[in-house]
Structure 1
Amino acid sequence: MLKLTGRIAVGVVSLLVLTGTGIASTMLTQLTSGLSTSDALDSTGPKSTGKDQNILLIGLDSRKDQDGNQLPPEILDQLHAGDGTEGGYNTNTLILMHIPGDGGKAAAVSIPRDDYVPVQGIPGYPNAKIKEAYGLAKFYAERDLAKQGITGAELEHKGREAGRKKTLETVRNFLDVPIDRFAEINLAGFYDLATALGGVEVCLNHAVKDRYSGADFPAGRQTLNGSQALAFVRQRHGLDNGDLDRTHRQQAFIASAAHKLRSAGTFTDLGKLQDLVDTAKKDVVISAGWDVLSFAQQAQSLTGGNLVFTTLPIAGFQKVNGQDVNKVDVEQVRTAVRTAFGMVTPPTTPQVYASATIDVRNATGQRGLPAAVTQALSPYGFRAGAMESAASGKSSIAYGPGAKTDAATAATLLGGLPVVADSRVPGGHVRILLGAGYVLPAALGPHGADAPPGSRSATASSESRSTGDPEPPAYGSQGAAVDGGGIPCVN
């Protein structure tokens, strides 16, 4: 089954980046008037405060157009997408983008598609992979609609609306943050975008060859055409971290496509510009009421590389009803989102330096993590103590006599960990337990989630434990962040 992870780039580049690059208002009006819109977003749901906006980008794994018609065979051939019977309506790409109203740095978090989460109102499915919410809701909605005599394009449109509503509801409940807008892109849209751009430059850390996706590329920087770019974002076989590496490729593609838009004179070439507008009209659906003209000012923060992508942490892997799924720690995921979006702000210049000694116990199975935590906290006055492994446990902080204030400071810096007093902890000591899937917040600088690819803070052993479910293969369970400012190198 095709697992396309880069197709939401049309929504980002053809719509968001395009609006923020100073394009003429007449072209924006033309773009807005021609886009398909959806009423799936509940107007009564929670909204971001002030001028902040959270935008969910949905990549739909479908070989059909908006009316439910099969894509032409010549397009499927170019996409290496089989005969059209594969795939379905999984949302194999889900990215929540936060654009601050004050023009500050934008942040985007990718939700791993196999995260096993609660879903509501789907018969027989109290939980499911988050990517399945769309297709399951669509199936059951269409079953009921068909009994009413609804068929054809109308059935497809209403079924997709049900899928969008369920996806928005599931993501919002999982992350516990508002969703203000959304953009959905289908399978053909990715190919159309890459073709309209005349190719996109990417960078690989290693040479790859994969018969499943058709990826066959050397290491280093290279320009890929539409078909090649699709293979680049499809590949998961043969990669060190499987789907997680593929998620990083999706992020890298968006960054690279935006970089080309900024630097290749696309906006002075009316032919290319019209191709991008036509691509967005054909392949993108946006939430109703989205005032693109007003949004253009905020979207400018996306065009100067002022964007960082991170991938939300997972707590491990397991099998449920024969399916491989991602275990998630909901509170850890929500803390990661709030930290990425600036809702949790660790102090960067403390008024009073800490003096406690920190002892770090590591239950993640990731080598080097205790040292990274110790090094990240040292600028705040914390002293290095013992570092040892732990069998299990959730991330938390315990403190001994006289260390309560320092424990609270460490907890905030490390992403909002729970704090308890413990008489077994020596006086003046703070004991930090790192549970499975823990990741350092990006705000802690080069030791955190924005460590450069290939650094010790960005990678860890991919060895699984000998017993129980395997641990995530990348550092912090999601690997390093991807900088949206240029052409990042990825696996």
Structure 2
Amino acid sequence: MAEPTSHSRGRAQRRRRAAPERHRPSPAALAGRVVFCGVGLTALATSGVTWYTYHDLTTGLNTSNALAGVEKSAPPHLDNSVNLLLIGLDSRKDMNGNDLPPQFVENDLQAGDSSNVGGYNTNTLMVLHIPADGGKVTALSIPRDDYVQTYGADGKMHKIKEAYGIAKAAAEPKLQAQGLKGAQLEQQSRDAGRAATLATVQNFLGIPIDHFAEVNLLGFYDIAQAVGPVQVCLNHATSDPAEAGQGSGFKGAAGINTLDASQSLAFVRQRHNLPNGDLDRTHRQQAFISSVEYKLKNEGLFGDIGKMQSLFDVVKKDVVIDNQLNIIDFAQQATNLTGGNVEFNTLPITGFATMGGEDVNTVDPALIKREVQQLFGHDLPPAPAAANSPGAAPSPAAPAPTPAAGSRTGSGTVDVYNASTVTGAAAAESKALTALGYAAGRVGEAGTRPKATTVSYGAGAKEGAQGVAARYGVAAEASAAVPAGHIVVTLGTDYTPPGGSAPAPAAPAAPAAGGSASDPAAALPMQGPPVKMGGIPCVN
């Protein structure tokens, strides 16, 4: 249960569970936390800090024993590396279940209503893989709407972000029957949510989770306040007006933008008016972490215990970590967190669908497991036969969902016209949409040259058009000029190929001799290009 306790020294040397950090708030806001916590721990290890100083800084951390319930069912360790799961909880409540102050949530953060928005979705899930030899750290983001088999909740298929809230809600009546109420009920039911999230992520990725850190909306804001203005870089100017909690309120210009705490939260929460929607928001979270690390390093924070104190005071208040973490061990193993030697990748999806009335990302669980293993540098067995190959055995992994009636995937004939400067873009997009299940229509050059990509549709093609429009981050519009059952895509002059939101990715290339490629990520079909720490990366 999550209750303030003094830091545990850790338990098994084999696991050396990693820790505290940060991130994502509502959709992503918590991002900075992870870095703060991680770099702070590293600073402790590299500064020659005494045990007494260490004890003073770390006593009072909020800890949870949620890992204890999922360790026995975890996939086996393949080496002595450490996997740390960073959880960004989209909750407008504090750790005791009380609503955050309305003025803070609605006015300062422009993040909706304290009691009606947010719930207990894990809108940010990121795994930090720290090699046993202390080499390059790999960070892997899981898109929040991936439709997967959940564990520890109701055992059904859901968006991966929902495992936490479903398990928490199921645990509450049982805990109330035991006489729990108030803060104690909130803390123990949250532990049920954490355990479900850990089990679901472990089974989806095929790796054990050694440590976790959880932070919510308020936590990110507090950390951003403590760090001060952070610079981020945008590829294009963008605006996301806040309306009834649906928009983030962010407005930014192309190039470098300097953000205060409230603007930082809006930056990592924006998903509207971005080319790839939620997927671009994930890249923003990654870029924000890089920018924070770059700022702290340039200002000499690492190694300065005095400057680190204010950050740790915030972490103690807002972050929950597992109770098996040995901070000194973790810090010594994760020195690259503060050296810019970290690369962020986003797991690919295979398309979009509507399940139970909700928009979801479809995924290939068997391929995901192989990609994660290869990205983390492990030897791989031969790739399984393609699902549609003659004689191919069915995959033992959870199957991708079959689109229900009204599915946004593969409904309609798509005509694609190119008004962009990208040669062959219409043909490439037609092929990508066909792979998602749509019927191929006409392909050619556009008669007009709109700046933005547009999607229009004829009678009977609304649902399919919404799925197509989601690929480009635009809204689909009905048009009497489009034949019934058809969808027309006009690629605008500002078109850039969607960052991997393409259909089923190809099987990963075989690793180099010895088991792993020199740059495993280069051969993998990730969701857009990686974001590398060590500067201020530009993103959408």
**Distance (whole Å) between structure 2 residues aligned to residue 70 and residue 435 of structure 1:** 41
Change (3 A) 1:242 1:486: same
Matches within 5 A, 1:205-284: 205-211=235-241, 212-267=247-302, 272-284=307-319
Is 2:517 the partner of 1:482?
Answer: no
d(CA) in 1 for partners of 2:127 and 2:510?
Answer: 17
Q: Check whether the contact 2:345–2:526 (CA below 8 A) recurs between aligned residues.
A: no
Q: What is the CA–CA distance in structure 1 between the aligned matches of 2:118 and 2:436, rounded to whole Å?
A: 38
Question: Is the 2:349–2:503 contact (alpha carbons within 8 Å) kept by the matching residues of 1?
Answer: no
Change (3 A) 1:65 1:485: same
Q: Which residue of 2 aligns with 1:94?
A: 125
| Residue 435 of structure 1, CA deviation | 6.6
Question: What are the Cα deviations for residues 222-276 of structure 1, in whole angstroms up to 9, with x where unaligned?
Answer: 2211000001001000000000000000000111111111111334776642220
Query: SS of the residue aligned with 1:93?
Result: strand
Paired position in structure 1 for 2:64? 38
Amino acid at match of 1:17: V
CA distance in 1, matches of 2:86, 2:182: 27
What corresponds to 1:4 in structure 2?
Answer: 27
State the partner residue of 2:374.
339
Is 1:63 aligned with 2:92? yes
Residue in 1 aligned with 2:196? 166
**Quick one: distance in 2 between partners of 1:283 and 1:441?**
42
User: RMSD over aligned Cα, in angstroms?
Assistant: 3.2
* Helix, strand or coil at the partner of 1:480: coil
- In 1, distance between residues paired with 2:311 and 2:290? 17
- Counterpart residue identity of residue 213, structure 1: S
One-letter identity of the residue aligned with 1:13: V
C-alpha separation between the residues in 1 aligned to 2:81 and 2:360? 33
Aligned length: 389
Determine the C-alpha separation between the residues in 1 that align with 2:89 and 2:238. 26
Of 110, 115, 129, the residue aligned with 2:159 is 129
Give matches, 1:185-204, under 5 Å. 185-204=215-234
Counterpart among 121, 130, 145 of residue 114 in structure 1:
145
Q: Structure 2 CA distance, aligned partners of 1:284 and 1:113? A: 20
Question: Is 1:14 paired with 2:45?
Answer: no
Residue number in structure 2 paired with 1:356: none
Equivalent runs, 1:72-83 vs 2, <5 Å: 72-76=101-105, 77-83=107-113
Instruction: Please name the residue that 2:455 is paired with.
Output: none
Q: Contact conserved, 1:6 with 1:251, CA < 8 A, in 2?
A: no
**Offset at 1:33?**
1.7
TM-score, reference length from structure 2: 0.66
Measure how far apart 1:199 and its partner are. Answer: 1.6
Cα distance in 2 for residues equivalent to 1:51 and 1:267: 26
Q: Which residue of 2 aligns with 1:319?
A: 354
The CA deviation at 1:150 is: 1.6
Q: Which residue of 2 aligns with 1:54?
A: 83
Is the Cα contact below 8 Å between 1:440 and 1:447 reproduced in 2? Answer: no
CA distance in 1, matches of 2:218, 2:113: 14
1:154 aligns with: 184
Task: Kindly indicate whether the alpha-carbon contact (under 8 Å) linking 1:442 and 1:448 is maintained by their aligned counterparts in 2.
Answer: no
**Distance in 2 between residues matched to 1:435 and 1:70, nearest whole Å:** 41
TM-superposed CA distance for 1:186, in Å, is 1.3
Structure 1's unaligned 5+ residue stretches are 347-364, 367-387, 395-433, 452-474
Structure-2 change in CA distance of 1:477 and 1:342 (3 Å):
closer
Aligned counterpart, 2:336: 301
* Equivalent AA in structure 2 for residue 33 of structure 1: T
SS at match of 1:266: coil
Per the alignment, do residues 283 and 47 of structure 1 end up closer, same or farther by CA in structure 2, a change over 3 Å counting?
farther
- Cα distance in 2 between the residues matched to 1:216 and 1:326: 27
Gaps of 5+ in 2: 1-24, 242-246, 382-413, 417-429, 438-501
Question: 1:112/1:441 Cα in 2 relative to 1: closer, same or farther (>3 Å)?
Answer: farther
**CA deviation vs aligned residue, 1:410-437 (integer Å, no higher than 9, x gap):** xxxxxxxxxxxxxxxxxxxxxxxx9723
TM-score normalised by the chain length of structure 1:
0.73
Q: Distance in 2 between matches of 1:439 and 1:191?
A: 40
- CA gap of 1:47–1:38, structure 2 versus 1, over 3 A, is farther
Aligned residue type for 2:148: V
Does the CA-based 8 Å contact 2:39-2:302 persist in structure 1? no
| 1:447–1:392 Cα change, 3 Å | farther
Change (3 A) 1:448 1:222: farther
Of residues 270, 289, 292, the one that matches 2:327 is 292
Hey, what's the Cα distance between the residues in 2 that align with 1:213 and 1:277?
A: 28
Equivalent position SS for 1:162? helix
Stretch moving more, 289-298 or 231-240: 289-298
Q: State the one-letter code of the partner of 1:18.
A: G
Q: CA deviation at 1:117?
A: 0.5
- How do residues 370-389 of structure 1 correspond to structure 2 at under 5 angstroms? none
In the aligned structure 2, how far is the partner of 1:62 from the partner of 1:78? 16
Q: 2:32, 2:288 within 8 Å by CA — same for their partners in 1?
A: yes
Q: Structure 2: how far apart are the matches of 1:120 and 1:92? A: 17
* One-letter code aligned to 2:64: S
Letter in 2 for 1:158: Q
Partners of 1:441 and 1:95 in 2: CA distance: 24
CA distance in 1, matches of 2:431, 2:122: 38
Partner of 1:402: none
- Aligned to 2:122, what secondary structure does the other structure show? strand
- Mapped to 2, the partners of 1:293 and 1:248 lie a distance apart of 30
Which position in structure 1 is the counterpart of 2:345?
310
Distance 2:507 2:535 in 1: 24
Are the counterparts in 2 of residues 48 and 180 from structure 1 also a CA contact under 8 Å? no
Could you tell me how far 1:389 is from its partner in structure 2?
6.1
> Measured at CA, do residues 314 and 174 of structure 1 come closer, stay the same or move farther in structure 2, by a change above 3 Å?
same
Residues of 1 paired with 2:305 and 2:209: CA distance?
34
**Are the counterparts in 2 of residues 115 and 328 from structure 1 also a CA contact under 8 Å?**
yes
Task: Supply the AA of the counterpart residue of 1:16.
Answer: G
For residue 143 of structure 1, report the CA deviation from its aligned partner: 1.9
Identity of aligned residues (%): 51
Q: For each residue in 1:433-454, what CA deviation from the matched residue of structure 2 results, as whole angstroms up to 9, or x when unmatched?
A: x972348679899999669xxx
